[in-house]
A = this chain, B = another copy of it.
Amino acid sequence: MTAIAIDPALVETMIMEIGAIGAHSGTGVWRTVYSPEWVAANDLYARWAQEAGLGVSRDAVGNVWGRLEGSDGGKSIVSGSHVDTQCPGGRYDGTLGALSALIALKALRAQFGQPKRTLEAVSLCEEEGSRFPTANFWGSRAITGAIQQGDADNTRDFEGMTIADAMREVGLDPARIPTAQREDIESFVELHIEQGPILEHADLPVAIVSAITGLRHYRVKLSGEQNHAGAFPMDLRQDPVAGFLEIGSGVINTAHRLGRPAVTTIGRVDVNPNGAAVVPCEVHFTIDVRHPDPEKGQELYRLHEQLMQEVAARRGLEIEWDIGIEKAPCLSDPELVSIFRRAAGEQEVPTLTMASGAGHDTQQMARIARTVMIFVRSEKGRSHTPEEFSTIPDIVAGIQVLAAGLHELAY
């Protein structure tokens, strides 16, 4: 097929213009759901969608939709991402995917006219959970019908306001949330920055995402015997820190030796009583474990649990854990992966195929549609920071792949 023309100047202008709404810390953006900045960004998104010749609508939670009607009718092929940010985040995480969908639809319409299948671009709300910490994926969950009655009244922001009241403040009626549900989406494609360094290290601009990782957060408590750091010999101690050090080293080494894409992280450690001259009585720590392959993920969990049990038993320590978060891997639709890889080849954009180690709205959309994602290279793998950055040529390449794949699906 012919190359799809994406205007780099337009891309840059749109990124900078929407990034100015909630601008923070130089290159950062602070734009939480249902804030004035979020309203303004969505208004701009709706205006751009209209200017691109799309039919604009907003649903009950505030997702903004731009629709390019297909001549054959049927279910929609949708692309988009979220416009809310971390506090502060950067200009790219989320927003780039919402913009890319608009830009792709505008380019397809200009170059190829009306599609057979209906195409939609969407700006989703509250993916990050940066205002309402338990409300992440709010926008995509509304679309899939996953928000339960009462959720809006039970979900509070850091100031204590319910998300229901926050919706009312921007003119949305929480009673209407069920109307946001869609049953007519056939495919969902999300373009997003990688948020990791894999493309940068591979010197490639774009990746096709084969799966979103499964993950488990262990919250572990290891208890021993508090003692005097001087008077108690090493060989008689039941030191939970010594056990933690062995377990922590072990699980990190296990994931490292399993190789990509296995990751295991000890992000949080709390020692009690945390005094320099005291052998502690207990250590609380977390283990974040991720693998996109369901079987390999289970094997990683099993290896980590086995090591925890073995070390605790050998050292005479008590160990307890619970699982704070558990998510099964979300596999991309194999046919969509093939289509977008082929589309990238036709656009002469070199890609690799990789898993996502972070979560995305796509995981939610996978309940009602087949899905795939496109990653654009992130400088130094940065995200959730004002310093996140992707170059315009890389972004343009990503949008070309997105548009070419949508073309194959819809025309």
- A residues lining the B interface (CB < 8 Å): 194-198, 201, 213, 215, 217, 219, 227-236, 239, 241-242, 245-246, 248-249, 252, 255-256, 259-271, 274-280, 283, 286, 288, 290, 324, 356-359, 381, 383-384
Contacts and interface: CB of A to CB of B under 8 A. Distances in A.
Given A230-B288, A276-B286, 7 more contacts: A198-B233, A234-B263, A242-B248, A245-B248, A267-B278, A268-B274, A269-B269
Nearest to A378: B231
B276 A288 contact: yes
Contacts of A196: 227-228, 230-233
Contacts of A233: 196-198, 260-261, 263, 357
A263 B230 contact: yes
8 tightest Cβ-Cβ pairs between the two chains A and B? A196-B231, A230-B357, A229-B265, A276-B286, A195-B231, A245-B248, A234-B256, A231-B357
Tell me whether chain A's interface is mostly helix, strand or loop, or mixed.
Answer: mixed
Nearest to A213: B230
A103 B215 CA distance: 66
7 contacts: A230-B357, A232-B357, A234-B252, A235-B260, A241-B252, A242-B248, A265-B279
Nearest to A212: B230
A377 to B, nearest CB: 12
Contacts of A219: 276
Contacts of A213: 230
A234 B217 contact: no
Contacts of A358: 228, 230-231
Nearest to A359: B230
B288 A229 contact: yes
A269 B248 contact: no
Contacts of A201: 236
B248 A262 contact: no
